[in-house]
Chains A and B, each alone.
Chain A
Amino acid sequence: MKQSEEVIIVGSGPAGLTAALYSARANLSPLLIEGVPAGGQLMLTTMVENWPGYRDGIMGPELIDTLRAQAERFGSRIVNGQVQRFDLSETPYIVETSDARYETRALIISTGASARLLGLPSEQVLMGHGVSTCATCDGYFFKEKRIAVVGGGDSAMEEALFLTKFASQVTVVHRRDILRASKIMQDKALAHPRITFEWNSIVEDIRDPDKGVVTGIVVRDTKTKVSKELSVDGVFVAIGHTPNTELLTGQLDLDSHGYIQTNTGARTSQSGVFACGDVQDPVYRQAVTAAGSGCMAAIDAERYLEGLPQAAAGKGSEIRSAG
């Protein structure tokens, strides 16, 4: 199957959906390949309190549903699928999913970032059996249980606070003696009666793969070098994210952590290929900055297409003035 497109957007978080909204309003009839799982990290959150315009907050999945409907309203075509291969060596660029192959003149990459794991063999075996990266998905299984949350950033504090709804005790294991989380999240977590902290500690192992279920973790104090076992029923890993750029290695300039390098807006090292959202943002990583960069990518892509020979003439200018 071969289809030729003006703009393909890959990824369906706030960056991709905003890029779709703007491209659709520019009459480019964008095709958005949503990825698996769809919707990005907001799908795994509960109340989002820092999305401007919602004074009392909005649920993450609801925000994504709304953005999606808004993008579709102006003619974005959203398809289910996971990209398996990009070929950016020449135009038109090629994007392949498991069951379709597309060609496109412009490409917007908003594949986001996935939860980073500890990298322990026991973690792999026990994933879904006590190891989790999503408190809102899996917290339910830990009613009156003891839980460890690994990490010291906003996500870790959010997970810890959310899990207190279910757990009898939440222990935050953090490798430093100071949290990286925002002040408001730190204050909430530090003040919570059922959250305790293991400072300067790293997780060495998760028990017990032989039983097929989490029974505890081994943590090592980085200062005293002493290891001890904590008895817990669940481990929630919130130690940051890794950009989803495996398929782009060698095709686009990436930084040393794998983030796509952008310059002068959303442009990447390949002309006609744009990036937005967490896949190119090691610094801010907010829903609103992702959406903002999605808008930039769409405008940059539109201008790029306008400058190409045989560009679909005049598309979009009338529509844009309405926005």
Chain B
Amino acid sequence: MASDKVQTFTKDNFETSVIQAGTPVLVDFWADWCGPCKQLGPTVDSLATDYDGRVTVGKLNVDENPEVAGRFSIRGIPTLLLFKDGEVVDTVVGVAEGAKLKQMLDKHL
């Protein structure tokens, strides 16, 4: 990933890194066969840098972690879920531009 601020979430660290996290967490559900996911990638990377310390940003590969995608009824990617105190507080489906995602994050901070 372009930014080292972007974390990698898996089924093994999801509970501790996302559900129990003290700060809001933005999770990018993606797969490497998904063209639109590749388009969204750089935008998510820049959010990780811009919101460093305020929002944890990470990616979850749905191919490798289908149980996590299933748990949140993800049936389309890219999908971004914003978690706060273990709950999903916002969802963005499909490719969105950075400005729109920032608005969404700012609303929850």
Residues of A within 8 A of B (CB): 36-39, 43-44, 61, 80-82, 98-99, 127-132, 134, 136-138, 140-142, 212-214, 233-234
Contact = CB atoms under 8 A, between A and B. Distances in A.
B31 interface: yes
B97 A128 contact: no
A11 to B, nearest CB: 14
A37 B94 contact: yes
A43 B33 contact: no
15 contacts: A36-B97, A39-B39, A43-B35, A80-B42, A98-B99, A99-B99, A128-B79, A129-B74, A130-B73, A132-B75, A134-B76, A137-B36, A137-B76, A141-B62, A141-B76
Interface string B47-73: 000000000000000100000010001
A129 B81 CA distance: 12
B71 to A, nearest CB: 11
Interface of B: prevailing SS = loop
B97 A141 contact: no
A68 to B, nearest CB: 13
Given A128-B76, A128-B79, A212-B73, A140 B98 contact: no
Contact of B76 (A43, A129, A212): A129
Contact of B74 (A137, A141, A142, A234): A141
Contact of B36 (A37, A130, A214, A233): A37
A129 B75 contact: yes
Contacts, number: 68
B75 A141 contact: yes
- Chain A CB within 10 Å — which of B31, B42, B73, B77 has the most? B73
Nearest to A214: B75
Nearest to B42: A80
Interface of A: prevailing SS = loop
- Chain B CB within 10 Å — which of A37, A43, A98, A213 has the most? A37
A128 B36 contact: no
B39 A137 contact: no
A231 to B, nearest CB: 16
A36 B95 contact: yes
Nearest to B79: A128
A98 B98 contact: yes
B36 A132 contact: no
B104 interface: no
Given A137-B36, A140-B33, A213 B73 contact: yes
Interface in B66-109: 69, 73-77, 79, 91, 93-99
A132 B93 CA distance: 10
Contacts of B99: 82, 98-99
Contact of B95 (A37, A98, A130): A37
